[in-house]
Amino acid sequence: MLPLTSLTIVLSLLVVGSPVSSIPLNTQKTVVSLVTKFKAGGVTNVVAGDRTRAHVLYRAAISGKHDANASITNVPPIGYTIQVGFGNPMKHYGLLVDTASGNTWIGADQEYTKTNTSTGTGNTVSVSYGSANFSGEEYLDTITLGSLSISNQSIGVANKYKGFEGVDGVLGIGPVNLTKGTVSNTDTVPTIMDNLFSQDSIDSEILGVYFVPVSEEDATGTLTFGGWNSSLMTSDITYVPITNTSPACTYWGINQSINYGDSNLLSSVSGIVDTATVLILIESDAFKTYQSATGATLDETTGLLKITPDQYSSLKPLIFTIGGTAFTLTPNAQIWPRSMNSVIGDTSGNSDNIYLIVADIGNKTTFGFVSGYTFLERFYSIFDTTNQRVGFATTAYTESTSN
């Protein structure tokens, strides 16, 4: 059930769509508007952006440095954003929700406005996201999330950034160790989740994440700070501990097995769950098996696997076994929303083209998998720092056919 000291925030989705319709909740909520814009200049290859991000996250974990020394490719076409208040008097900024970063920063599309609660520390801050980066100065400021207020939160204020068109910055909700090496003269800095807990705003350092698929008319979502919302679930929660395997253990890393129908793709391999990755990335050998089993061809324009209508009708379930429970992507859940093909670089304008959301991670010296939001939007996820575990449950959208 939802703890009394938790707060649910309704997210907006960075995607062209219809006006937001509110989701009935039994908890206090803050509703924000749907953002109706994409990355400036469009997207040429979402696979390249996701793959670069995965490799940079891997190298950062191995080196223990999460600063901005990385090459830039392109950025994801869609991301979930949340309206966050900064300062006093308060000003709101739209931030990308990122479970693979611990730093919160602003100053991209909208410049940071200093207020009565803004204090410069004199330190510099820089972070790489693989497909984007930023650098700037560290400030301490008050952050407001609905009715919750965090005082003296470390934030980055960008003076240089790349790859964040359409958002004002990032809300880092990853583990605190991901801030290591990002701020000068500092080892790590408390994340917003750390400070919510230490300042007694929440009883447990737990975050519930709920994404409505981007193809739905009411595509939005919620973050629940301090707990979760069981009314959005259609099953019990399955928990799995954070993996002990390096470097996935640096992030929200778990062990899982993946099967396509009766074909095993991956057995008890470690990887990460990441809200700011778009696709589901898997090891090269597993990807080749999946491609062969589906009969898909690699589309050079989008970088995605493409299938025919007949192949789509023959798709088998893609099964993720996590903590002994099978979480299944139906055939419809394995394809990119056909009405949004132009977002991934399909210039034909043909919504009948069918692309798969499973891609090659590209390099065996990386994670076994990265489950991005195309996986997470089909399930409710819980990121539990207090108990060092991740939880999953099915939702009303697990078997949606809106793609």
List pLDDT tens digits, range 239-250: 999 999 999 999
Q: How many CB atoms lie within 10 A of CB 244?
A: 10
d(C-alpha 136, C-alpha 160), whole Å:
6
Comparing CA positions, the residue from 62, 89, 71, 177 lying closest to residue 129 is 71
What pLDDT, on a 0 to 100 scale, did the predictor assign at position 259? 98
If we measure between CA atoms, which residue out of 173, 210, 215, 213 comes closest to residue 190? 173
Closest CA to 165 of 96, 82, 211: 96
Helix or strand or coil: residue 85? strand
Give the pLDDT confidence of 333-367 residue by residue, as tens digits: 999 999 888 888 888 878 899 999 999 998 777 89
What is the per-residue pLDDT for 67? 42
Contacts of 262 (CB under 8 A, 6+ apart): 316
Q: What is the pLDDT of residue 12?
A: 58
pLDDT of residue 393: 98
Report pLDDT for 21. Answer: 30
Q: Is 230 helix (H, G, I), strand (E, B) or coil?
A: helix
How far apart are alpha carbons 257 and 372 in whole angstroms? 16
Buried b (16+ CB within 10 A) or exposed e, 191-224: bbbbbbbeeebbebbbbbbbbbbbbbeebbbbbb
Stretches where the chain sits below pLDDT 50 are: 1-5, 15-43, 66-75
Output the pLDDT for position 65: 55
pLDDT of residue 10: 59
Active site residues: 98, 274
22 DSSP assignment? P
Domains of the chain and CATH, by start:
7-211 (2.40.70.10), 234-394 (2.40.70.10)
The amino acid sitting at 373 is Y
pLDDT at res. 66: 47
